[in-house]
Amino acid sequence: MPDVPTTLTRFTIIDSPIGPLTLMSNAGRLTNLVMHEQAHAIIPPPGGQRDDTAFDDVVAQLDEYFAGERTGFDVPLDLTGTDFQRTVWAQLSAIPYGRTISYGELARRVGNPRAARAVGAANGRNPVALIVPCHRVIAGDGGLGGYGGGSDRKTLLLELERAHRVDAG
């Protein structure tokens, strides 16, 4: 597994309804949210400093999310990726809470309707799952599609959001 840069890296591990989550930050900005046994997981680098108080705001927002009281996150992020990945991640953040879109629709939203596989790969490399809601992307046939955290977690997250979604109007 690749390491994240060691500059100012702080991390903590918290419990959640979907299992342990490792949070990492550099200079006070969240860089990674990693689920236990997640695909493409990043591990805290050698020399990283465990700091269980540096993430109080992120932990509070995650607790509110899992309680169905929060529909979006407001934490400073520092996401490392290609321009294409960052474009995909920005579009993921625009998917409303409790809603889903297909990989094909996501490809259209990033300006390349034929890039469903490429957006799927970028989606899978999302370093802050949940915060940037990659679980809201499903297969075009309505199936779950992939999820680096596993299909059980994806199902749980989608059901949580559907149960707490407030429809406008």
105 a catalytic residue = no
User: CA 67, CA 88: separation in Å to the nearest integer?
Assistant: 27
Copy the structure tokens of residue 102. 């297909």
**Catalytic one among 21, 119, 134, 157?**
134
User: CA 108, CA 168: separation in Å to the nearest integer?
Assistant: 25
Q: Hey, how many other C-beta atoms are within 10 angstroms of the C-beta on 107?
A: 20
Which residues, at least 6 apart from 40, have a Cβ–Cβ distance to it below 8 Å?
124, 125, 148
User: CA 132, CA 122: separation in Å to the nearest integer?
Assistant: 12
State the catalytic residues.
134
